[in-house]
Amino acid sequence: MTLLKSWEMPPASRPISFVSLIFCLFGLGLALGCDYPTAHMIISENIPSTSRGRLVLGAFAFQAVGALGGAAVGYAVLVAVPNLDAWRWMFASAVVPALIVTIGRFYVTESANWLHTRGATERAKEAASRLLERKPQYPQEIVLHPHGAKPDQTHKGGGSFLSLFSGRYRRATILASVPWFLQDLSTYGIGIFTPTILATAIGHNADHVRSMSDLVANATLAAKGDAMITMLLIIGIVCAVLLADKVGRIWLQVLGFIGCALGLLIASLSVGASGGLKIVLIFVGFMLFDFMTNLGPNAQTYLLAGEVFPTAVRGKGAGFAAAFAKIGAVATAFLFPILLATIGTRWLLYGLIVSSLLGAVVTWVYRIETNGVNLDHIGEATNEQEKTQAVA
C-alpha cells in the first residue's frame, strides 16, 4: 500500500485544512498568553508576603507536572494509535482539563490590591473578606482606606503602558523582561532539540524516515526523552520552591544562569567526543542545565515579573515581560535550525553560554530583591534599593 503524506492527500479527504489548524492554534496561544502572566499575579496579591515565593512557585511547578503528563499521554496515544491521526487524540485529551480550568476561573477571587488601587474600596473589602473567611472569624471587621477620594501619589501618572519605560519603572522593566528573554533563548532552544538528542542516546531512532513505523518510532523515543528531562524540571522547581523565600530570588536567578552556562559548556564538549563519553557529556550537560534553569531563571523570572512592579502597573509590567520573553522563544524556533546548519552545534551552544552569563550580569546589575516585601510597598522598596546601590 502506498503511504500518502498529508500534503499529498486530495483536498476532499483532508478532515482539517492547514488554515483551520493555524486559526485554532492561534486561538489557543492567545488564551494561554492571556492566562500565563496573570495567574501568578492573582496568587501573589492574595497570599502573605512571607510565603509568597514558595506558593507562587508551587503553582508554577504544575507546569512541569503537566508537561510530564503530556509526555505520558503522547507516548500512550502513539502506542495505541500508531498513525498520523495520533495528534488529534493528543489535542482532544486536553479538552476536558481545559473545560475544568475554565469553569474554575469563574470562582477565583479578584485581587483586593488591584481593586483598592482603582478606588473600588467596597469591592476590595468584599474580596479581602472572602479570602480571610475562617472559623472562628478573624479579624471581625476589615477596614480599607479609600483610594478613590485621595489618589495614591506614589503611583500617580504611573498607570500607562509607556510609564514602564520611565525612570520610575525602567529598572523593574529591565529586570523583569531582559533576563526572561535570555532565559527563553536557551530553554526553548534546548527544549526543542533535547528530546531528539536523548532519544538517540537511549534508543535507535531512524535517521531517515522511510515509513509510518519509522515516524511513530522516532516520536515514541522522543516522548521518552522528553519525560526524562521533565523529571529534572520538576526536581529543579521543587528546590526553587524550598529556597525562594530563604535564599532570595536574585541569588537563585544569578546562580541558576551560571549553572545553565556550565551545563551547556559540558554539553558542548560532547561535539568532539565519541562513544560512551559523548553520551555521558550530553546527559550530564543537559541534566545540569535543566535542573539549574528551573532552580533559577525559569522559575525566578516568572516570580519576579509579578513582584517588582507596584500594583498600579503590575499587570502591564508582567504582561510586557512575558511577551518580550516569548520573542526569544519564537526567535529560537525559527533561527535554531538555521544556526545549527550554519555555525554548527558547538558554536550554537557557545552562543547560549554567553546569553546565560549575560542573564546573570543583567540580573545582578538591575537587581530588586522582593523576598518578604509587601507588594503594597514594592515601589518604596525599589527606591530604597536604588539609593543603597547608588551609594555603594
C-alpha distances (whole Å) from 373 to each of 40, 152, 368, 370 are 16, 19, 11, 5
pLDDT at 66 over 50: yes
Greatest mean pLDDT range, 21-35, 129-143, 305-319: 305-319
- The three-class DSSP label of residue 24 is helix
**The three cell numbers locating residue 281:** 557529556
pLDDT of residue 4: 43
Confidence category of residue 213, pLDDT binned at 50, 70, 90: low
Q: Does pLDDT of 27 surpass 70?
A: yes
Q: What is the DSSP secondary-structure string of 47-65?
A: S-GGGHHHHHHHHHHHHHH
Q: Categorize the per-residue pLDDT at 359 as very low, low, confident or very high, splitting at 50, 70 and 90.
A: very high
Helices in 93-137 by DSSP H: which ranges? 95-105, 112-117, 121-131
∠ CA 217-219-220, rounded to 5°: 65
Instruction: Specify the pLDDT at position 168.
Output: 85
What pLDDT sits at residue 279?
A: 76
Q: How confident is the model at residue 338 (pLDDT cuts 50, 70, 90)?
A: confident
Domains of the chain, each with CATH number or no CATH: 163-391 (1.20.1250.20)
What cell numbers appear for 356 in the block?
A: 546565560
Averaged confidence pLDDT in the chain: 78
* Residue 165, pLDDT above cutoff 80: yes
Chain-centroid distance of CA 230 in Å reads 13
Q: Confidence class of residue 158 from pLDDT cuts 50, 70 and 90?
A: very low
Mean pLDDT of 235-260: 92
d(CA 273, CA 260): 21
Q: 302 pLDDT exceeds 60?
A: yes
